[in-house]
């Protein structure tokens, strides 16, 4: 689904939860502005949300006012805001200057105005607890957590100035070996999170930045979950559609089933597939929300070597560009992906969590063997 439309659906859905159930259909009509397809999709979500074990489990429903506009020069505790650099479902992120201590640039995450002070604050606190567990050179570092004098909760993070993983690779026409080397760094960061009983749940290139010197940093544990200590190898609480990016979401995510480390492995499989083949495993743009769910849960993606010539993309010029961005030609790239890489992606993207790699370490091992098998050698 187009990301802008997905965001609009989510925003309208969240707004409707503030209305009594009997008033929602009328309010929905006004919010959709005559878009009948949009109205239909959100009505289905409302019906799904009313059921036990909803696909939209955990959406905030009780809102109060929090401090509003934050602009340039605004001081939050010991940080001065310089500019907004991002936003998510529950927070805005600003680049800020530390006014004391090291006086470094930091990324300051603030709750968005009007959000729930119970469920959302609990999630905000949970992110702090999760980040405090993680100490890894390739995971953005937690600097400070607090509440300002005007009762504004915040999380101060290491500021990362870099490009999304896929953009970084394509701009520099990195070879398959170089892409896999960077991807292995991502895997080691994810493995560290899993060892510390954290599942990220929203792995995607936009949350993996590469700095100018090639340093990889994994960001945004805002929707992560701690693995349930009752079964600390696998289990974690259920999730919902509003805390995922559809293109990277595993079948169990869109079906509100149990989330495990295998959920992150699926997302890693999507990222790997895109890095080597230049196309996503499944084409989801333009689909309605339930078509997205059906496709993720039932449609097997083409093998990466076959996806190079997928008809829903731009044909020969697109193929040539993909190959050129990987420092080779289309025939050589196809040959490079056939066999081992096809199998690796197929296993990482298996519909059933039980059929995927059991640990990130096993995926890394197969990738190392793949590179050696191509005669490229490896330094990892």
3-state SS class at 146: strand
SS3 content of the chain, % helix, strand, coil (to 5): 45, 15, 40
Query: Long-range contacts: 35-39, Cβ < 8 Å, 24+?
Result: 37/288, 38/5, 38/8, 38/9, 38/12
Q: DSSP for 78-110, please give it.
A: TEEEEEEEEE-SSEEEEEEEE-STT--EEEEEE
Tokens 């609480």 — which residue?
237
Tokens 């030609």 — which residue?
329
3-state SS class at 210: strand
Phi, psi of 216 (to 5 degrees): -95, 135
| Interatomic CA distance for residues 330 and 339, integer angstroms | 16
User: Distance of alpha carbon 105 from its chain centroid, rounded?
Assistant: 24
E strands, 88-173, are 91-98, 105-111, 142-147, 153-158, 162-164
| Interatomic CA distance for residues 186 and 270, integer angstroms | 13
| Interatomic CA distance for residues 9 and 32, integer angstroms | 9
Active site residue 202: yes
Closest CA to 273 of 341, 188, 375: 341
Identify the bridge partners of residue 87 per DSSP, sorted by sequence position.
92
User: Distance of alpha carbon 366 from its chain centroid, rounded?
Assistant: 24
Q: How far, CA to CA in Å, does 223 sit from each of 89, 130, 343?
A: 10, 10, 30
Closest CA to 295 of 249, 241, 259, 342: 249
340 sits in which H/E element = helix 340-348
> Which residue in the list 202, 220, 264, 342 is annotated as catalytic?
202
Active site positions, annotated: 202
């Amino acid at each position: 689904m187009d990301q802008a439309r997905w965001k609009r659906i989510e925003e309208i859905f969240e707004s409707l939860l503030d209305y009594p159930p009997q008033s929602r259909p009328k309010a929905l009509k006004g919010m959709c502005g005559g878009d009948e397809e949009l109205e239909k999709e959100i009505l289905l979500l409302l019906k799904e949300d009313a059921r036990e074990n909803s696909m939209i489990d955990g959406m905030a429903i009780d809102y109060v006012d929090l401090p509003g506009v934050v602009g340039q020069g605004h001081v939050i505790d010991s940080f001065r805001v310089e500019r907004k650099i991002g936003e998510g479902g529950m927070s805005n992120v600003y680049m800020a200057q530390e006014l004391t201590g090291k006086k470094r640039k930091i990324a300051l995450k603030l709750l968005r105005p009007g959000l729930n002070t119970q469920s959302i604050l609990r999630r905000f606190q949970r992110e702090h607890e999760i980040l405090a567990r993680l100490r890894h050179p390739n995971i953005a570092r937690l600097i400070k957590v607090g509440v300002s004098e005007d009762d504004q909760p915040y999380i101060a993070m290491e500021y990362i100035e870099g490009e999304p993983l896929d953009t970084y690779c394509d701009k520099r026409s990195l070879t398959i070996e170089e892409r896999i080397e960077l991807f292995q760094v991502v895997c080691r960061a994810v493995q560290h999170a899993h060892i510390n009983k954290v599942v990220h749940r929203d792995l995607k290139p936009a949350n993996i930045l590469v700095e100018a010197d090639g340093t990889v940093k994994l960001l945004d544990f805002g929707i992560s979950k701690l693995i349930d200590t009752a079964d600390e190898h696998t289990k974690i609480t259920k999730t919902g559609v509003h805390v995922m990016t559809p293109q990277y979401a595993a079948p169990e995510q869109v079906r509100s089933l149990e989330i495990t480390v295998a959920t992150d492995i699926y997302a890693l499989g999507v990222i790997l597939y895109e890095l080597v083949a230049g196309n996503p495993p499944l084409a989801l743009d333009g689909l309605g929300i339930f078509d997205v769910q059906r496709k993720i849960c039932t449609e097997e993606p083409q093998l990466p070597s076959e996806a190079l010539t997928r008809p829903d993309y731009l044909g020969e010029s697109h193929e040539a560009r993909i190959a050129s961005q990987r420092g080779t030609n289309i025939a050589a790239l196809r040959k490079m992906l056939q066999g081992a890489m096809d199998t690796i992606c197929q296993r990482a993207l298996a519909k059933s969590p039980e059929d995927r790699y059991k640990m990130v370490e096993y995926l890394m091992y197969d990738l190392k063997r793949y590179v050696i098998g191509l005669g490229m050698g490896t330094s990892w």
